[in-house]
Structure 1
Amino acid sequence: MTISRRTLKICCAVTTILLIIIIVTAVTLYYTLFKPKQPIITTQEVTLNSFTINVFDVTDTNITLGVKVTVKNPNYGGFQYEKSTTYMSYRGDVMAEAPILEDSIPARGQRNISTTVLVVGKKLITNSNFFKDMESKVLNLTSSTTLKGKAIVLKVFKKKATSYSTCDISINFVDNNATSICKSKVKF
């Protein structure tokens, strides 16, 4: 059985057209639907669990904060991140650390991450601005977290990603509460 040249040309043309359609569709989907987007990190609440101060020994001051953060993944691919640490700092000095266990956030899903942070007073007292801030009844802290992991699209395509989050936390001792504002970004 011989195939005529005309049939062969038609077959090649149809294959080329189908291949072009598939490539254009794939590129369009990648740049619209599957393009990686920033996660939305929202601090649901920062609670002042306890604030203890020893009047006779000011270095025996401890602050316990409860932090609940929601991370929304707006992407059509999941995000698996490794074990990490959140650092709490006061005017540039690291005051406390809190572990974050490895986990994954499903595609277009969200995950609540809760942790407790103990800020030890000995580290706070050594900062020259501490007593000035105590007089104003507000203590400003900054938390920073880096989550390294990989974004997975359609269980086939895997891309390394790192999510950076920074939160500015204000603790008001008079009202016994805390508020925060968070910013995040992702590098692929």
Structure 2
Amino acid sequence: MKKPIYRTKDEELAQIFSSKVLPRLRRLEFFGIIMAAIVLLVVILGVLALTVFRFKVPDIKLRAVTIDNYSNLSGTLTRFNLTLREEIVLKNQNFGEFKYDKSEAILSYGGKTIGEEEISSGCIELTYTKLVVVLIEPKFEGLGSNQNLGGGTNSGILTFNSYIKLSGKVNLMMISIKKRTREMNCTLKISLVRQAIQDYYCH
């Protein structure tokens, strides 16, 4: 009967970390590190895809609209001049700056353009908002006369349409990545008696 072989603690450690066993342990450890790095990379890319690289169109809102420089040319509601002042808020919802091209604010009545105003090109920093003020002077000559404004001059309420289309690109790390476009279409009701905006809504 063979006697059991008793090893010292040093001998047991030497067997565990022998030249045959140690390389396998190192390979398993290295494989575990690689898998953990891959999982971490997937998580980081997922977060970036849902935040930084999720490009959104700019948000455009008509914050306020008022009437400036109203003048009655005849003592009645049939001939007048006015200037519309529109305060437009542009919001960049991206994690990169948004550079927008030159565009125009168009004012129309009954489907016919009666006023245009240029909006200069510009830039909005990441997640910032910008206020743009547009002044439009309607020209009624193309309608023949202010009496061609229909029953609006009789009721003292005129309904105009204001349209803006904003196009530009989102720049991330100085590289233009995505082009985005937003349109704003608003209906304005103007009271000639009160010389003020009675109501407006946008879509």
TM-score of the two chains, using structure 2 as the length reference: 0.73
Shift in Å, 1:137 = 1.1
Q: 1:128 to 1:11 in 2, by over 3 A?
A: farther
CA distance in 2, matches of 1:75, 1:96: 32
User: CA offset at residue 41 of structure 1?
Assistant: 2.7
**Greater relative contact order (CA < 8 Å, ≥ 6 in sequence):** 1
- Report how far residue 164 of structure 1 moved: 1.3
**Whole-Å separation in 2 of the counterparts to 1:61 and 1:123:** 15
Residue 88 of structure 1 corresponds to: 107
User: Cα deviations across residues 64-91 of structure 1 (Å, max 9, x unaligned)?
Assistant: 1111111222333321101111111112
Q: Give the superposition deviation at 1:54.
A: 3.7
CA gap 1:47/1:114 in 2 versus in 1, 3 angstroms: same
Choose which of 79, 86, 107 in structure 2 pairs with 1:67. Answer: 86
Give the strand-richer structure, 1 or 2. Answer: 1
Offset of 1:129 from its aligned partner?
A: 6.3
In the alignment, which of 123, 140, 146 is matched to residue 165 of structure 2? 146
Whole-Å separation in 2 of the counterparts to 1:73 and 1:42: 12
Q: Which ranges of structure 1 fall in alignment gaps of 5 or more residues?
A: 184-188
Equivalent-residue separation in structure 2 for 1:147 and 1:91 (angstroms): 23
Q: In terms of mean alpha carbon deviation, does 21-30 or 7-16 score higher?
A: 7-16
Q: Partner of 1:105 in structure 2?
A: 124
Q: Within 1, Cα distance between the matches of 2:69 and 2:158? A: 14
Structure 2 CA distance for aligned equivalents of residues 24 and 143 of structure 1: 45
2:201 is matched with 181
Distance in 1, matches of 2:27 and 2:111, equals: 71
Alignment correspondent of 1:186 = none
Moved more, 72-81 or 165-174: 72-81
Give the percent of matched residue pairs that are identical in Structure 1 and Structure 2. 25
Look up the equivalent residue of 1:130 and give its one-letter code.
L
Determine the C-alpha separation between the residues in 1 that align with 2:175 and 2:38. Answer: 20
The residue identity in structure 2 corresponding to 1:181 is: Y
Give TM-score scaled by structure 1 length. 0.78
In structure 1, C-alpha distance between the alignment counterparts of 2:137 and 2:110, rounded to whole Å: 17
Unaligned residue ranges in structure 2 (runs of 5+): 1-22
